[in-house]
Homo-oligomer: A and B are copies of this chain.
Amino acid sequence: MNERRERVLRAAAQLFGQLGFDGTSFALVAEKAGEQKTFVQYHFQNKEVLWRAAVSHVWLQRNNALPRYIEDISLQRASDDREKMIRDLCRKILHFTFAHPEWVKIMFQEASAPGPRLDWLVKEFIGTDFIEGRAMIELGQHQGLLPKVDAMDLLHILSGALLYLVSVAPITERVLGLRPDSSDYIDHHVDTLTRILRQHA
C-alpha cells in the first residue's frame, strides 16, 4: 500500500467524520494530507470513491484493532476472569475509539442524513456489526455476565453508554475540565457501568 495514498485516506476519514460528506472538499483533504488536490483526485476519481475508500480503510483498521473477544470470553472458565474480560473489552473499545473516533463520527454523520451512502455503509460494514454485537451480548447473558433482557436493547444501551462518552467528550472536557480520554476517566466510567450490570449475574 502506497504511503502517500494512505496519508490521504487518513486525512479524508478525519475530515469526513468531522465535517460530513458535503463539508469535506478535495482541497481540504489534500491540504491536511500534505498533497496536491490533483493527486487526491487522480487516485480517487470522485468524492464518492474517496469516501468509500476512506470508510473501508477506517473499518478495516478498526476490525483489526478490536480483536474478536467473543471466543476469548467463551473459553474462559472462572467467573472472575470472565467479568474482568468484559471490563477489558469495554476499556479496549473506549481507548481505541478515543484514539480513532472516525468510525463513530462517520457513522453518525451518515445516519444524520440517511441516503444511499448510509445504505452502502450498512450493507458493507454496520450490518454485520449489529449481528456480531447481538451474538456477543447473548453469549454474555448465557454465561450469566449480563442481565437477561432483550439482547438488541442491551446492545443499544451498552453501545450508547460507551460511544456517547466519546461523542460528547469535547463538551465534557469544557464543562467539567476533565479529559474523558484519559485512562483514569475511562476506567472509572467502565467501572460504573459494570457495577450497574453486575447485580444480575
Contact = CB atoms under 8 A, between A and B. Distances in A.
The count of identical subunits is: 2
A116 to B, nearest CB: 12
A14 to B, nearest CB: 10
Interface string A187-200: 01100110111011
Interface in A81-140: 105, 107-109, 111-114, 118-119, 122, 126-127, 130
A176 interface: yes
Chain A interface mostly: helix
Contacts of A161: 156-157, 160-161, 164
B18 A113 contact: yes
Contact of A196 (B126, B127, B196): B196
A176 B170 CA distance: 32
A22 B20 CA distance: 9
Contacts of A149: 192, 195-196
Interface residues of A, number: 54
A174 interface: yes
Interface string A33-46: 00000000000000
10 contacts: A19-B22, A19-B113, A107-B171, A122-B175, A150-B188, A150-B192, A157-B161, A160-B160, A163-B164, A196-B200
Given A19-B22, A157-B192, 20 more contacts: A19-B20, A19-B113, A21-B23, A109-B112, A111-B170, A118-B170, A119-B174, A122-B175, A126-B175, A127-B175, A147-B195, A149-B196, A153-B188, A156-B161, A156-B164, A157-B161, A160-B161, A160-B163, A196-B200, A199-B200
Interface of A: 17-23, 105, 107-109, 111-114, 118-119, 122, 126-127, 130, 147, 149-150, 152-154, 156-157, 159-165, 167-172, 174-176, 188-189, 192-193, 195-197, 199-200
